[in-house]
């Protein structure tokens, strides 16, 4: 599992949401990188800060009309590609 900072986790999850909008698929893919507790906590933070929104019961979407999707740092690119 990757040793990521708080901001790196948030960016990773936002880019993973862009790739996989279904929450169940997203959780399954991210489990190889982060503990499930960290994933859930990060999702709650992203939803609470309105950077991510829930569309229906199990679909997540970046709230790009509210905030821009942050640039993906070099150290996270390979993680996103491997999801």
Domains in the chain, CATH or no CATH each: 6-82 (1.10.10)
What residues have CB less than 8 Å from 40, skipping those under 6 apart?
A: none
Summarised one tens digit per residue, pLDDT across range 41-71 is 999 999 999 999 999 889 999 998 878 888 8
- Considering Cα of 8, then 14, then 20, then 26, what sign does the dihedral take? positive
Q: What tokens does 82 get?
A: 């491997």
pLDDT more than 90, % of the chain: 64
Residue 1 has a pLDDT of: 53
Report how far residue 45's alpha carbon sits from residue 1's, in angstroms, rounded to the nearest whole number: 21
Number of C-beta neighbours around residue 83 at 10 A:
16
Give 62's strand partners: 52
State the chain's mean pLDDT as an integer.
91
24 has a pLDDT exceeding 70 = yes
Interval 6-20 mean pLDDT:
94
């Amino acid at each position: 599992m990757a040793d990521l900072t708080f901001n790196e986790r948030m960016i990773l999850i936002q880019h993973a949401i862009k790739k996989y909008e279904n929450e169940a698929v997203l959780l399954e893919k991210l489990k190889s990188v982060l503990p499930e507790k960290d994933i859930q906590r990060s999702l709650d933070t992203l939803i609470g800060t309105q950077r991510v929104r829930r569309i229906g019961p199990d679909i997540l979407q970046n709230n790009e009309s509210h905030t821009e999707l942050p640039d993906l740092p070099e150290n996270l690119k390979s993680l996103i590609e491997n999801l």
